[in-house]
Amino acid sequence: MSIRVNPGFIKELTKYGAREWNACFHCGNCTAVCSLTERGILFPRKEIRAIQMGLTEKLASSPEPWLCYYCGDCSENCPRDANPGEIMMSLRRYLTSIYDWTGMAARLYKSYAAHLWFMIFLFLAVIAAFVVFSRIPDSPEVKLNTFAPVHIISLLDHILLIFLGSFLITNIINMYVKIIIKDKTVKIPVWLYFKEAWNAIFQFATQWNITKCQRNNWYWFGHWFLFTGYILMFVMVIFFLDWFQTEEIHPFYHPQRILGYYVTAGFLFATIYFMIGRYRKKKEIFKYSHHSDWIFVVLLFLLAFTGIFIHIFRVNGMALPTYYAYVLHLAVEVPMVVTFVAFSKWSHLAYRPLAIYFAHLKKSARALQEKNKIEFVTQ
């Protein structure tokens, strides 16, 4: 069987943020100290070796990069300062781009300018749409659903969901083909898909594997708080927007307000925590930041910030400020959703639990094959 080698791959990976890749001399410390490696699932040494050899097809079929949560232990214990944790992060960005058949992920990850200008275009497009199609109500009272009719906003949300969801789903199918279908070394029985499915659901809901590799569980809490806040916001916007975007002012203990406060608190806690960490650069996980890391947390912070102002202005009956804050809120939200949900960081919410699922599928299938071989030999 021929193996394709891409000698220029290492240079390609630097465009996704990889640094000091050539310093690694494969001592194995990174794999030894990683609390997430296990028998049959070893990283990051195996992936770094494949990177250096230019084995792009092998890397594309590997779920292991997604099993890493970048706790920084491997980089802290590397005697050569080869930054294996950052290499794994860069590899995840690269894998996101090769799952994406549109090429958008690669363009956004490789070019800060392209990412920035695309977001500015979307930001201005949202504002222009409100200028052209929306009219400020004559009433001095806040009439948000007159300014931005909830049925129209909901329709646009669903159109955007279908548009971006189709990209994400086809990218996930591409991921499945590369990791499972093209791997001819293992055959997975259908019943095994159902047996291992609970693990993917559990990991998606809890992000629990982070707790295995973090000495400070604030990192896990920040991820989980942000994740649950985002999922809650998604559910409210897609399925209950007419309940959430209302002109009625509910008391502070009403579920609508409590859920809104939860989402806002999750966004603010996580973004402030990550921005402070990346600014100080004291922890290994924050020493190196790709432009997408900063763009993401800044946009998410602005989303929460503008949401707070919408709420303050609305409950205090300040009509014009409410409308202006609402426009800015959507002008921030649309670029973030379009550029990150299917093509960047938010897609990791889908890729990581699926990679855990695929990795354990292959591990269980191989164990089953070995068991069947032994039983055949002993008969």
pLDDT of residue 375: 61
| Per-residue confidence (pLDDT) for residue 1, from 0 to 100 | 47
Structural domains of the chain, with CATH:
9-99 (1.10.1060.10), 111-361 (no CATH)
> What integer pLDDT is reported at residue 11 of this predicted model?
85
pLDDT digits (tens, 9 = 90+) for 299-308: 999 999 999 9
pLDDT band of residue 371 (cuts 50, 70, 90) is confident
Task: Give the per-residue pLDDT at 379.
Answer: 58
User: Which residue's structure tokens are 């889908």?
Assistant: 350
Could you read off the pLDDT of 99-131 as tens digits, one per residue?
Answer: 999 999 999 999 999 999 999 999 999 999 999
What's the pLDDT score for residue 215?
A: 63
Cβ atoms of residues 66 and 14 within 8 Å: no
41, β-bridge pairs: 38
Does residue 336 register a pLDDT over 90?
Answer: yes
Average pLDDT over residues 311-329: 95
| Lowest-confidence pick of 157-166, 210-219, 303-312 | 210-219
What distance in Å separates the CA atoms of residue 195 and residue 232, rounded to the nearest whole number? Answer: 28
Q: Reply yes or no on whether the pLDDT at 140 is more than 80.
A: yes
Rounded Cα distance between 344 and 349, Å, is 10
Please check whether residue 346 is in contact with residue 137, taking contact to mean a CB–CB distance below 8 angstroms: no
Q: Which long-range contacts (CB under 8 A, 24 or more apart) does 269-278 make?
A: 269/222, 269/225, 269/226, 270/222, 270/223, 270/225, 270/226, 270/229, 270/297, 270/300, 271/226, 271/297, 271/298, 271/300, 271/301, 271/304, 272/301, 273/218, 273/222, 274/222, 275/301
Instruction: Return d(Cα 128, Cα 107) in angstroms, integer.
Output: 25
Q: Which among 70, 105, 56 has a CA at the least distance from the CA of 223?
A: 70
**Residues of the chain with pLDDT > 70: what percent?**
96
> For the chain, what percent of residues have pLDDT higher than 90?
53
**So what's the pLDDT on residue 24?**
84
| Bigger pLDDT: 272 vs 374 | 272
Question: Would you say residue 2 has pLDDT above 60?
Answer: no
Calculate the dihedral angle through the C-alpha atoms of 348, 350, 355, 357, rounding to the nearest 10 degrees.
Answer: 150
**If you average pLDDT over residues 217-239, what whole number do you get?**
86
Tell me if 374 sits within 8 A of 138, measured CB to CB.
no
Query: How confident is the model at residue 136, as a pLDDT?
Result: 92
Q: How far is CA 288 from CA 77, 151, 152, 292, in A?
A: 16, 43, 42, 12
User: What is the amino acid identity at position 293?
Assistant: D
pLDDT tens digits, one per residue of 190-208: 999 999 898 888 888 888 8
pLDDT digits (tens, 9 = 90+) for 43-53: 888 898 888 88
**How crowded is residue 115: how many other Cβ atoms within 10 Å of its Cβ?**
21
Amino acid 10 reads I
Identity of the amino acid at 349 = L
